[in-house]
Amino acid sequence: MQGKKNEKEVPGKEVDIKSYKSGAEEKPYMEDLRKISPDQRKNMLSSGVDPSQRGRSGTYIQMDHSVVHSKSLYPGLEVMSITEARKKHKWVDNYFWKILSVDADEFTKQAELQPHQGYFLRAEPGVKAIYPLQACLFINENNIIQNVHNIIIVEEGADVQIITGCATASDVKRGLHIGVSEFFVKKGAKLTFTMIHDWAEDVSVRPRTAALVEEGGTFLSNYICLKPVKNLQMYPKAELVGRGAMARYNSILFAHPGAHLDVGSRVILKSEDSRAEIISRVISGGGDIIARGHLKGEARRIKAHLECRGLMMREEGLIHAIPELEGSIKDIDLSHEAAVGKIAKDEIEYLMARGLSQSEAQVAIVRGFLDTTIMGLPSELQKVVDDAISACEQEAF
Amino acid sequence: MLRIENLTVSVSGKEVLTDINLEIKKGERLAVLGPNGSGKTSLLMAVMGFSGYKITRGNIIFKGKQINGLSIDERARLGMGIILQRPPTIRGIRLRQIVDIIKHNDFDTDKEAEGFNLKGFLDRDVNLGFSGGEIKRSELFQLLASSPELSFFDEPESGVDLENIILVGKVMNQILNKNKDNAALIITHTGYIFKYVKADKGCVLLDGKILCFGDPERILEEVTKYGYEGCVTCRGKKMKRKSRVKK
């Protein structure tokens, strides 16, 4: 009998944690964000974080291992480093490793054993902020490891939008980012969380994320990764533990040549009448993408749908869609659809018959494929995403 | 405006059109009648330049220029436009986006869409979940926005209910009357559309060959009476007559 291949427990390409520098130079706190260098500002902006704070309710910026800014501009919203939060509120400790396991893998262990800050964002009960909070995790030094642990709490009846941008300085080539994030969406609360990754070509990324959504709560997670990154693996999970809770994951990914993206979303519907949707649009421009999705229905009258569409732009590269549905009782409704292919010729020719050139038609189709209107992004963030998509289109053709 | 000379076309190696000759002058409307599978759609697709329709012989001349080797968009930009019977769905591309790209400056998208009962469709993905009638209206709406000099109508009445046929006819006239030189090639197997849109001449296409030219309504009458099979017999008689004369 043929022996089974030795499969790794943790998917994604291997990362040698020891090959990165664990220390980083201390960066000074900046009360005035105008002091941020033009280069850093540019990189932050392309990840959706605006240092001018126009149209924002608060800002957290971390460079390497130092918190350089943290401030709330809206009453009822707390923005601070995780260290400060643990000092300020003793109860924050109760949220640590509550929905993620510290010994899940080498990266969670690393985040616990060698923590480099992270953010604490909280909306007090009933607070509905008009403008989003923003948080930036920035790698400024080459070849370092950045381990953060973030806690986000949206208390009962609150409604908040959060933009998280992860970026690197222009001269950073290599690095490792480990981001542990635990989200708590309480009864009747709503969180719209948009994460934009704008890494460098040789950066490895290991987010470890989980969300707990209570009765009537809504968790909307948007993930955008269109810029080059070497090696990204994540499989965030939401647990719907209250009646009528809802979670939706939207992801758009572009794999540049040589990139390896192993990205999925998982929702466990534990309560009656809860709903979930996982939607991903992935494009291989020569790199590899493993697009996972997992819906698990454990309660009556739940409804969930998973949709993964992949476009292959070149002869090289890979898209491997792995949708999973798991139901353990009757009276549930789980569905999925997945498709991987090239741009359909009849679609291109249809637009050409309207007078668009072949390349204009291809660009329009790719842009339509990466439709982000469903994400409900604020207008200026939409512009950032549109620009990133335009840059991708240049790369794609 | 359009001259087709000895055009022979094959699809996947199989000849679907043989030695087609036809001409459409400025301001003229030519109807091509024929049963399903006779090669009517292939004729439009080949003239518009869609892939898969390989020209093995002959020429297509548009506005005095041979266009055999031009791409679809080059032909569209020269002044050709088409409504397709089964256009593809394109996710993420709204009908409005296409219209915005192709429309003439004086085209008021929202106002015109109202007349087409298409207001609610402008911001939907093009053709996604559209019914047969909605697809037809959307296709005609796009054609009106771009207002080509030569329009190709592929079975404009198919899949459309009575109420919509009237609208389809109205819009076709609107497109064609926009400029006195505007011309059309209308493909139909039922001929219902002639009630609303007048064609100047007609021809019958059968098994990839043009059998005869004539008055379109007259041809339709004959076809209604004797079926397309009648055309074959008629053609056969003519040929026999011709051969007798020769003798």
Give per-residue pLDDT as tens, B148-164: 999 999 998 888 888 78
In a domain, A7, yes or no: no
Any domain includes A1: no
In a domain, A269, yes or no: yes
pLDDT, tens digit (0-9, with 9 covering 90-100), for A329-384: 999 999 999 999 999 999 999 999 999 999 889 988 988 888 888 787 877 778 87
Q: Which residues of A56-75 are buried (b: 16+ CB within 10 A; e: fewer)?
A: bbbbbbbbbbbbbbbebebe
**Both structure tokens of A202:** 């040789």
What pLDDT shows up at residue B241? 43
pLDDT, one tens digit per residue, over B124-133 is 999 999 988 8
Taking 70 as the pLDDT cut, the residues of chain A under it are 1-13, 394-397
State the residue range of the domain holding A268. 20-343
Q: Which of A282, A311, A352 to mutate to test the interface with B (most CBs of B within 10 A)?
A: A352
Mean pLDDT, chain B, integer: 88
Instruction: Among B48, B92, B101, select the one facing A353 at the smallest CB separation.
Output: B48
Residues A249 and A319 placed together within one structural domain of the fold: yes
- Which candidate, A309, A310, A306, A308, places its Cα nearest to that of A297? A306
A335 and A352 co-located in one domain = no
Residue B246, pLDDT > 80, answer no
Residues A353 and A271 in one domain: no
pLDDT(B239) > 70: no
The answer to whether residue A312 is domain-embedded is yes
- Please indicate, yes or no, whether residues A222 and A271 belong to a single structural domain of this protein: yes
Find the residue in B nearest to A345 (Cα): B51
pLDDT tens readout for residues B24-55:
999 999 999 988 889 999 999 999 999 999 99
Q: Is the pLDDT of residue B242 over 70?
A: no
Q: How far is B136 from chain A (nearest CA, A)?
A: 14
Which one-letter amino acid corresponds to residue A102?
V
Residue A225 lies in a domain: yes
Q: What is the pLDDT of residue A7?
A: 38
A29 and A113 both lie in a single domain: yes
Q: Is residue A318 part of a domain?
A: yes
Contacts of A350 in chain B (CB under 8 A): 84, 87-88, 90
Whether B235 has a pLDDT exceeding 70, the answer reads: no
Do A336 and A386 share a domain, yes or no? Answer: no
The pLDDT of residue A12 is 56
Which residue, among A343, A350, A360, would best test binding to B if mutated, counting the most B CBs under 10 Å from its CB? A350
Main-chain phi, psi angles of B54, to 5 degrees: -90, 125
For residue B245, pLDDT over 60 is answered with: no
> Does a structural domain hold residue A192?
yes
Q: Which of A343, A358, A375 is the last residue of a domain?
A: A343
* Shared domain check, A39 and A172: yes
Residue B151 belongs to domain spanning: 2-246
Distance between CA atoms of residues A285 and A312, nearest Å: 7
pLDDT for A9 = 39
User: Would you list the DSSP string of A22-85?
Assistant: S--------SSGGGS-HHHHHHHHTTT--TT-TT-SEEEEEETTEEEEEEE-STTEEEEEHHHH
State the total domains in chain B: 1
User: Which residues of A lie closer than 8 Å to B, measured between beta carbons?
Assistant: 309, 344-347, 349-358, 361, 364-365, 367-371
Do A76 and A131 lie in a common domain?
A: yes
DSSP-based three-state secondary structure for A341? strand
Comparing CA positions, the residue from A221, A226, A300, A235 lying closest to residue A263 is A235
Residue of B nearest to A366 (CA): B92
Q: What pLDDT does A280 receive?
A: 96
Q: What is the pLDDT of residues B181-210, one digit of tens each?
A: 999 999 988 888 888 898 899 999 998 998
Most A-contacting residue of B93, B142, B146 (CB-CB within 10 A), to test interface:
B93
Query: B91–A346: do the CB atoms touch at under 8 Å?
Result: no
* One domain for residues A392 and A323: no
Partners of residue A364 in chain B, C-beta under 8 Å: 93, 97
Q: Same structural domain for residues A157 and A266?
A: yes
Total beta-carbon pairs less than 8 A apart between chain A and chain B: 64
Say yes or no to pLDDT of B233 above 70.
no
Cβ–Cβ of B76/A368 closer than 8 Å?
no
Provide residues of B within 8 Å CB-CB of chain A: 48, 50-51, 71-73, 76-77, 81-82, 84, 87-88, 90-93, 97-98, 101-102, 125, 142, 146
Q: Are residues A358 and A253 in the same domain?
A: no
Tell me which of A297, A325, A343 is where a domain ends: A343
Overall domain count for chain A? 2
Q: Name B78's bridge partners.
A: none
Q: With 90 as the cut, is the pLDDT of residue B66 above it? A: yes
* A344: chain B residues, CB-CB within 8 Å: 88
Of B72, B90, B91, the CB nearest to A353: B72
Q: How far apart are CA B119 and CA B109, in angstroms?
A: 9
CATH of residue B115's domain is 3.40.50.300
Q: What count of other Cβ atoms lies within 10 Å of the Cβ of residue B70?
A: 17
pLDDT digits (tens, 9 = 90+) for A175-199: 999 999 999 999 999 999 999 998 8
A104 and A185 in a single domain? The answer is yes
